[in-house]
Structure 1
């Protein structure tokens, strides 16, 4: 091909290049126009990060000098002088979202995870971020998360979809202080404790859990709410249609519910090998015929507190509270393998509110705002003293309503997270649409047993996992 022929194609190549650039620009303009105000600000921030990176990186100590010239540079050298050393800068890929930017950067010799973490404060200032975190994504690559606005101070809302969740036992809680999703896997978990001052988000967090699980027939939920006396009162009134059982603050009613669930626990222990063919429900997961049973005990101190007094009624209530504690202890300690979870919520999860023999065997714990360090320790363990920035005593400001602290899954320390608000009308919509899925787990179990088998003759409180005898 002659030079003239090559030059003849030049306008076509240039035109194609200009067309691609124009298309790219149009895509960005449309994306910017359709974005909300917060995302637009993040898009502008992302552009600034890209444009200033080559100058910022050396100043922040994130560059390295390569004194070995590349082969082509050596061949092109005709004056006999050694080629100048090259300054290498990590390549970036920047993605904006509502809260800030996610930056992926490649590592270089002597510019790795540790160097990026040391430079995080400088990057936060240069990028105008509230905070910046750096974590290892994969070998040779780090992820830099910069948040322009504080996610903990930005209220969020959750609108339940009414669709069956992809992972039923994955509890989506909200976002952390870097706007990253926070979730906890509740498979094989026997108990959860939620503590915090009134009005700071405990019940709203539980409501989201119910709304997200409600579309699945493989979960059945019971509630004991110590704040109210009747089902039409309080925070769970809109969800009653999706609960197979509900009791208020009456200790006798609560005692009857706890006994009912303990009997279910024992019946399931006796029948699990016969019905499921295995000793642990979680080896196959819950189903509509053997659902995951969740008992929610809100204002748990109502049912466990010691009633002082020498009169007959005080003694009766005290004995009833002690029995309630014993029954719930059995559910938490022995209900895991048969698919029973207990969620206990209270203002202070101290020993008088949730007995320590129950609280200390619940592996998942979170706390909203607390007034005292002792209450924080009771909710999260003594380690919270070593993490003062994460202590829930710092969350008492009204701006932190909906913000909680929990143990960081799979890593040391604690995670602060913003939980979303679920509107009452959305909760009512979900409960109405899924009410037909509500079923009594005891009746479901009985329907799977052949005639002639009586579970009451083979209660097995010790979980021996032996099959039933006809």
Structure 2
């Protein structure tokens, strides 16, 4: 090809490239306009918000420290020999309108990564007219920012009852209007903390209601809020439970002994039914149901402060059995849910608390109380700090959760779904016909007939027969 032909071809290539760019821009504009026309008025507000953020980004980023000067362009000379202005590199973003605000995906550049974006989150919230901006690393080189407009947790939604096939405990919706729940499969347990009157017991009652219509679930209830379990919050639903006990540590000790005996007996029962001791391989059945143990205000059964003698021995025994349930229950279908106002070591043994993988914390007064329920990472997560939620006018039914799928060890705020407090006990009571006591009978203690009378009186070691299980119809 001659030089003349090459020079004539260059404008044609440039015009073709320009035409392609114009066509591409026209297509994108057409698609955006089409979506805008079809959108609802509320959606159009969110779309305009997202477009406004994208349009102003290149001016905003350098002013809040989210842009960097390209060091390679410093000191560069232009064609006239003058020092040219260095190039400022701005991270590329994509904006997406959402019902709760705007979602932004940002491509990181050298010296502008996750840490720098987190530091600028407050400035971004002000610039974007958002209540808060939360930052999450999606993968290497990609950060997601969620700008929340207003407070979606102020919105009330009905409680999301699970399907029969879902082994899930529903919670409610998070700030991005997504439903959050706790999967039960292989779950070691749940700790629930928070000040009185913010929703701890109501949430646990909702969990009981969500499972009460399943024949493959049975309940054991320890109501530490009242001395006579018949007259407490849990007394109204006691007809569906294998038992309900009040705040007496000795009575609780007897029932905890029953549950531990069930745990020790269950591997043999599982092997007999299904050929394996692994409970969740085949899941709950009528013969071997999931046992959900609710311990409301559990500190009344495990706090040894001020106790001596026999009373202290009983409570220490309770601690050991609560520990057995939390450590061995996961693989054998016994789930412990421990609720107390403050999940500190004096209220619940740390050997129990630290083995419960899901934490739910309603508002508390101090960050120490929040850390006991949610772990030390909550100290570095100011937006999700439960001690900032102490306001009964707005935050009854709002909690902070950790340990649920999708969080990766982080935290999320959740508004519990709305429940009819008056109808809930009646709903559970209507399923009382599904109640069955599956706790095995205790092994009888027998004494060898050849044992002298003095030894029969207690000097010898009793012979234990093999544990037998109560057969069900």
Shared fold (TM-score greater than 0.5)? yes
Contact (CA 8 Å) 2:253, 2:314: kept in 1 or not? yes
Asked if structure 2 preserves the Cα contact closer than 8 Å seen for 1:60 and 1:122, the reply is no
2:101 is aligned with 1:100? yes
Change (3 A) 1:418 1:127: same
Query: Who is 2:79 aligned against?
Result: none
Computing the radius of gyration from Cα coordinates, the structure with the larger value is: 2
Q: Which residue in 1 is equivalent to 2:173?
A: 175
Match of 2:355 among 353, 361, 367: 361
Question: Which of the pair has the greater relative contact order for Cα pairs under 8 Å at 6+ separation?
Answer: 1
Deviations 1:228-272 (A, max 9, x none): 233442322443343232111233332222122111111102322
CA distance in 1, matches of 2:160, 2:175: 23
Instruction: Tell me the C-alpha RMSD between the 2 structures.
Output: 4.1
Greater mean alpha carbon deviation, residues 229-238 or residues 299-308: 229-238
Corresponding residue for residue 70 of structure 2: none
Higher mean displacement: 54-63 or 214-223: 54-63
| Equivalent residues of 1:213, 1:219 under 8 A apart | yes
Quick one: distance in 2 between partners of 1:50 and 1:330?
A: 52
Q: 2:345 matched to 1:347?
A: no
Distance verdict in 2 for CA 1:335–1:300, change over 3 Å: same
Task: Give, in angstroms, the shift of residue 206 of structure 1.
Answer: 1.2
Cα distance in 2 between the residues matched to 1:290 and 1:161: 24
Separation in structure 1 between the aligned mates of residue 197 and residue 239 of structure 2, nearest angstrom = 24
Question: Which residue does 1:296 correspond to in 2?
Answer: 294
Preserved contact between residue 45 and residue 100 of structure 1 (Cα < 8 Å):
no
Q: State TM-score, norm by structure 1.
A: 0.69
Number of equivalences? 391
If the length of structure 2 is used for normalisation, what is the TM-score? 0.68
8 Å CA contact 1:162–1:430 kept in 2: the answer is no
Aligned partners of 1:405, 1:22: CA distance in 2, in Å?
39
CA distance in 2, matches of 1:45, 1:301: 50
Between the aligned partners of 1:395 and 1:197, the Cα distance in structure 2 is 11
- What's the CA shift for 1:143? 5.4
Q: Classify the secondary structure of the residue corresponding to 1:328.
A: helix
For 2:108 and 2:347, the matched residues in 1 are separated by: 54
| Aligned position for 2:427 | 430
1:417 aligned residue: 414
The reply on whether 1:403 has 2:402 as its aligned counterpart is no
Aligned match for 2:315, one of 292, 296, 321: 321
The change in CA–CA distance for 1:162 and 1:391 in structure 2 (over 3 A counts) is: closer
- Matched-pair contact (CA < 8 Å) for 1:307–1:317: no
How far apart in 2 are the matches of 1:275 and 1:418? 41
Query: Any stretches of 5+ residues in structure 2 without a counterpart?
Result: 1-30, 68-89, 442-463, 469-473
- CA displacement at 1:342 relative to structure 2: 0.9
